[in-house]
Amino acid sequence: DTLKDIVKKVEANIELNKEEIKYLLEVENEEYDALIRMADIIRKECIGDRIEIRAAIEFSNYCRKNCNYCGVRRDNKIKRYRMTEEEIIDEVEKLYKVGIKTVILQSGEDPYYTTDRMLSIIKEIKQKFRMGITLSIGEREEEEYRLFSDAGVNNYLLKIETASRRLFELIHPDDDYDIRVKHTRLIKEAGMRAASGGMIGLPTQTIDEIAEDIIFQRDFGIHMIGFGPFLPAKGTPYENCKPGDLKLSLKVVAVTRIVCQHVFLPATTAIATLHPDGQTLALKAGANTIMLISTPPSLRDNYQIYSNKNMVDLSFAIKSTRDAKRKLPKYLNYDYLKELGYEIEDEL
Ligand code: 5AD
Ligand code: SF4
């Protein structure tokens, strides 16, 4: 039958075509269980039994764009904040002390952070802590990608959100599909690893389009692929739309692991927000990365790209890791975590 044929192709390292990917996205019951198991086995073979922890600092929620789905879009009436260079460095230092090796600097598209301001922040982090840096600050100029790369930025996160031109243009009033694709290429050409991904269950999105999303990640050699459910955000044009489906989101994670194999797949904050077990289920369906939200608590509430965002802090990460029966990265400093009041079980 079809699933057995697909498994044989995966085992023989033959690329799956779109019809086969669609078939996997539509499996139910025993075939669903088999899909999740297969993804878990491939995750184990490619990555092993470890979980990568990435900490994100959302340093500004100003944004010049008006993406229809996003809670920090320009027209949304929310309290805006910007962190100073000093505040950002202080947060990074805390992460460094815990033993975290990569920080994600994330913001809306905020021109206040000019090339020079960003470079100054990047250089200071590199000099003081030698940490890996992922930038997630939206579309920038070609020249800036090169400058960021030369200053030591390792990864640049710019999601395609959807690889369907039709849907991309429907949800992005300010963006052009071809430009987003071009920028995905420019990021790699500048010498950084490209991180991408998208949303599952966007209004009007089809299974065919989701299959295209996964193929896009494979074809562009994306290194970190964040797929999470669409969640309606208060005050946005999509606030009354229904959220993406948990099972479909898990299938997308699983199929992405099977199709893209050796990549970083976060169990996204969005899936943790959709369902209390979402993150653990994703970690059992091929995901291998957790994002810790490390924005100072006083600012966090203003960075609601969708409503009621589930804050993934260290204790939550430890619980998810334990449920998934996998090791936290060795580099996390247990003594320091205990000092911070986290309970750590020896079995981890
Ligand atoms: N639902 C789910 N994910 C969202 N994002 C933004 N708004 C939403 C939403 N309403 C995700 C997008 C974006 C990242 C910052 O958060 O993928 O790239
Ligand atoms: Fe701005 Fe990004 Fe939200 Fe779009 S998705 S409105 S670019 S923060």
The span from the CA of 147 to the CA of 163, in Å, is: 27
Supply angle C-alpha 229, 16, 247, rounded to 5: 25
Write down the pLDDT at residue 315.
75
Q: Which ligand is nearest to the CA of 158?
A: 1
Q: Which long-range contacts (CB under 8 A, 24 or more apart) does 23-32 make?
A: 24/251, 24/254, 24/255, 24/258, 25/207, 25/210, 25/211, 25/248, 25/251, 25/252, 25/255, 26/207, 27/3, 27/251, 31/3, 32/247, 32/251
Residue nearest to ligand 2 atom 2, measured at CA: 108
Using the atom order of ligand 2, give the atom closest to the CA of residue 61.
8
Write down the pLDDT at residue 348.
44
Contact 326, 50 (CB under 8 A): yes
| Beta-carbon contacts of residue 107 (< 8 Å; ≥ 6 apart) | 58, 59, 60, 61, 62, 63, 113, 136, 137, 138
User: Does the structure's ipTM exceed the value 0.90?
Assistant: yes
What spacing in Å lies between the alpha carbon of 111 and ligand 2's midpoint? 13
Write down the pLDDT at residue 343.
66
Using most ligand atoms within 8 A of CB, pick from 184, 199, 217, 307 the residue to mutate for ligand 1. 199
Domain 19-339 has CATH 3.20.20.70: yes
Contact 249, 271 (CB under 8 A): yes
Q: What is the pLDDT along the chain (348 residues), one digit of tens a residue?
A: 899 999 999 999 999 999 999 999 999 999 999 999 999 999 999 999 989 999 999 999 999 999 999 999 999 999 999 999 999 999 999 899 888 999 999 999 999 999 999 999 999 999 999 999 999 999 999 999 999 999 999 999 999 999 999 999 999 999 999 999 999 999 999 999 999 999 999 999 999 999 999 999 999 999 999 999 999 999 999 999 999 999 999 999 999 999 999 999 999 999 999 999 999 999 999 999 998 888 888 888 888 888 888 777 777 888 888 888 888 776 677 777 777 666 665 544
Using the atom order of ligand 2, give the atom closest to the CA of residue 64.
1
Residue nearest to ligand 1 atom 17, measured at CA: 198
Contact 151, 126 (CB under 8 A): yes
Q: Say how many C-beta atoms besides its own lie within 10 A of residue 19's C-beta.
A: 11
List pocket residues of ligand 2, CB cut-off 6 Å.
63, 65, 67, 70, 72-73, 108-109, 138, 305
Using the atom order of ligand 1, give the atom closest to the CA of residue 231.
1
Write down the pLDDT at residue 342.
66
